[in-house]
Each structure stands twice: as structure tokens, then as C-alpha cells.
Amino acid sequence: MSAADRAASRPQGPLSGVKVLDLTAVVVGPSCTLTLAEQGADVVKLEAPEGDLLRKLGGPAPSPDMSPKFIHFNRGKRSIAVDLKTPEGMAVLTRLAEQADVLVTNMRGGALDRLGITWEALRPRNPRLVFCVIAGFGKRGRYHDSPAYDTIIQGMSGFAAALGQVTGEPRYAPFVLCDHITGIIASQAITAALYAREKSGEGQAIEVPMYESMAHFVLTEHMFTRTFDPAGATGDPRVMNPDAKPIPTKDGYIALSANTDAQAFGFFEAIGRPELKDDPRFNSVVARFRNVDAYFTLRAEALRTRTTAEWAAEFRRREIPAMPFATIDGLLDDPHLWETGMLRREEHPTEGAMIGLGRPVSFSAAGPDELPLAPRLSADARSVLADAGYTEAELTALLGGPVLAPPGKG
């Protein structure tokens, strides 16, 4: 697919017509701009000449700059690689920013200041610009401008400690979870700012700090009785319980959550223990919370007696929330994900046959999800610059010079 075809194939969506200048790398920023692209925005990914680190960091691929992670986080975007350390490169960025609705970056504040990529510098040129900085730490705190990656934030925010409370030692979740969550928070903040701009006509600056975002996430869940009592306990004991996990069955595991009285009482019927509905340990939501250890032990003992398929059918019949456990490999074999278009077989122009990911959210007014596949480095330089009004002579000079990386280099 040519760069022009890629640009023309962007899906319709609620953000159709919104131009996003994406100065992000690795995961936290690209997860934000992926969400915007999935919602119809035209996302131009402005990369350094060596390309986004995730091009190489995210696993092997047919081309050395097209890792699996990069491909999945950068669908629906156009790439241009510009050396921002040169005056000519900064002139390209400024021209693109003048025409953008949104600029997103996860560069550290000091680097932004040195390059002159700031809200204060760009606002006079484009007062409608929504300028979003995804930072490691908020600028009002002492950690501002300290380097941060997902593992740093997992360790600081209580995430690793929460897992350690269950597993016996602090550990990271096997996902770049803080990056994912912060990126989604940033995408929501951007759309809120775009909505505000519709009323005021003015853009604004947004700061989305990873640490504060994840501390908020953890404390909302686990501040628990410290909310009211300085000597109280943190950590929701129901969620922190070591038995809060997929439950073993006769031949595998099942994921079960019977929380309401109706669900719990149905569960007691299903396991042949209807008398437990009157047991003072289990006869209400509050009672089961206070006796969560006994409740989880009861579940574990009961479910070992039948197969996963038998329990799944039984719980479905009684409308008790439960589904078979799946491995990551198992997800790729789940017919539901293929039926909904979440998984699809695709042909990348340089990487060949691959399994692609669809848009998880659907909009009644948007049409089918047909996001262009992730681009090679600077593959869209000509179309991006042409859209910005560069003349053919200017294009020839830039594309033949050192400011722009040539398409496909990585």
C-alpha cells in the first residue's frame, strides 16, 4: 500500500478530521495516539532519524525496525523521521504544529525546553492547539524531570508491592501496565480538551504524569480503611487474597466471580450446598467480605469435582459470571475474537502475513475498522509534508537532505 493509499484508508470515527502530531515513543505515548487513531484521527508520528526505540525493542520481525510491539501500537499512523536538533528540522515541526489540532509528546521536560517544543512557544502560532505532555512525574513535585519507564512507576506506585503481597515478593506485572493505563488516561484528557475547545475556541496545555496517575489508580482501589483512620489498613483483602485467582477444576481452570447475593446463592445451588444461603458467614455481601478466606476456600474445594466445560455450562444456565480460563496462546484461538474482528489475518506490505488487531470499541456512526498497518520509518514523509503545504521544490530539497530520514531506514 502506497503512502497515499494509507492516508486515504484511515477509518471514519468521532475524531475524523482531527490532526494529531505525535512526538511519542515506546509505549505510553503510542498507546495514547493509537486510541486517537482508532477513533478516526489523522495521526502523524514524527520520529527521530533512528526511529522509535520500540521498533527494535519489541521483538524480532522480518524487518529489523518493525517489531511486533511496534506494529500493534502504531497502527493507523503516518511516519515522518525528522532531526529536531537542526534548525531545518525544527522548522518542519513548527509548520506541522501550526496546522495540528493536537500535539502529544512524552519527551522529558528538559529536552522539550532545550528544543523549544513548549506550549508557550507554540500557542502564539496556533492558539487552538491542544498540547499534551505525558510525563513521568508532575512538574510541581520534587521528582519532576526524573527519567521514568513502566517498571520504575510500577515499583514506586505500589503496583509491584500489591503483587508481592499476593506472591510473596515484590514483582512487576508481565505487562507495561502503567504505560497502557496512563496512555488511555491521556487520550481521554485530550478528547476532553477538544470538547472544551469547541465551546471556547481555545486550546490548552495538558500534563499527564505517570506516577500520579498510577498512585491515583492504586489508592482508589487499595487505600481501604486508611481512608478514615490513620492507623487503618491498606489493601482490599478480597482482591489481595492469595486465592483471588483462576480456580482449579477437574481438568483445568475457570474464572468465576459471584459477588451479588443472587449470584452467590445461585453458586451455592450449583455446587449442591443450598443451605449455605443461611450460613451467617455467607448470607450477605458484607458477611462474605468479612469471611473472604472461608468463601474462597469453599469455592476452590467445590470446583475441583467437575470439568471446566461442565462448570461453565452450569454457571451459564444459572447466569453466574464465569468463563473458561485461557492462556495467551488460547486467546489467538478464541472464535469470538475472530468473529468480532478483534483478530484478523492481514498482509503487511513489507512484513508479510500477520495476525492484526482490530478496534475494540465500535461507533454506530463510524463504519468498519480498517486502520492502515504500522508504517516503516518515514514512509509517509512526502504525503505529510505535501499536506502541510510544502511545494515540490521544498519537498525535493528536504527529502534529499540530512534533515529527514529516507523512507524505510531503521
Residues 6+ apart with CB under 8 A from 9: 1, 370, 372
Residues 252 and 361 reside in one and the same domain: no
Task: Report how far residue 314's alpha carbon sits from residue 302's, in angstroms, rounded to the nearest whole number.
Answer: 13
Q: Taking 70 as the threshold, does the pLDDT of residue 238 lie above it?
A: yes
Q: What is the residue range of 313's domain? A: 247-324
Residue 147 placed within a domain: yes
DSSP state of 371: P
Q: Is the pLDDT of residue 4 over 60?
A: no
Residues 6+ away with beta carbon under 8 Å from 192: none
Point out the domain boundary residue: 324, 352, 368: 324
- For residue 6, pLDDT beyond 80: no
Helix (H, G, I), strand (E, B) or coil at 235: coil
Torsion (CA) 394, 53, 37, 197 in degrees, nearest 10: -80
Q: Are 238 and 289 in contact (CB under 8 A)?
A: yes
Please report, for the domain that includes residue 104, its CATH number: 3.40.50.10540
Q: What is the pLDDT of residues 159-199, one digit of tens each?
A: 999 999 988 999 999 999 999 999 999 999 999 999 999 99
Helices (H), 85-176: 87-98, 109-115, 119-122, 150-157, 159-167
**Confidence grade of residue 400 (pLDDT, cut at 50, 70, 90):** confident
Q: Are 270 and 368 within one domain?
A: no
pLDDT top residue among 167 and 131: 131
Residue 272's alpha-carbon distances to 71, 265, 266, 275, in angstroms, are: 50, 11, 10, 9
| pLDDT band of 10, cuts 50, 70, 90 | low
pLDDT tops 70 at residue 278:
yes
Quick check: 49 pLDDT over 90?
yes
Tell me: do 153 and 114 sit in the same domain. yes
7 vs 384 pLDDT, higher one: 384
Q: What is the pTM of this model?
A: 0.94
Give a yes or no: residue 281 inside a domain. yes
How far, in Å, CA of 369 to CA of 372, rounded?
Answer: 9
Count of structural domains within the chain: 2
Residues 169 and 259 in one domain: no
Q: What is the pLDDT of residues 216-235, one digit of tens each?
A: 999 999 999 999 999 999 99
User: What residues contact 42, with CB distance under 8 A and at least 6 apart?
Assistant: 7, 10, 17, 18, 19, 20, 78
Q: Is it the case that residue 3 has pLDDT exceeding 90?
A: no
Q: Say if residue 266's pLDDT is above 60.
A: yes
Residue type (1 letter), 409: K
Mean pLDDT of 301-316: 98
pLDDT value at position 367? Answer: 79
Please tell me the predicted confidence (pLDDT) of residue 86: 95
Q: Is residue 227 part of a domain?
A: no
Q: Which three cell numbers stand for residue 120?
A: 508557550
Beta carbons of 285 and 259 less than 8 angstroms apart:
yes
Is 171 part of any domain? yes
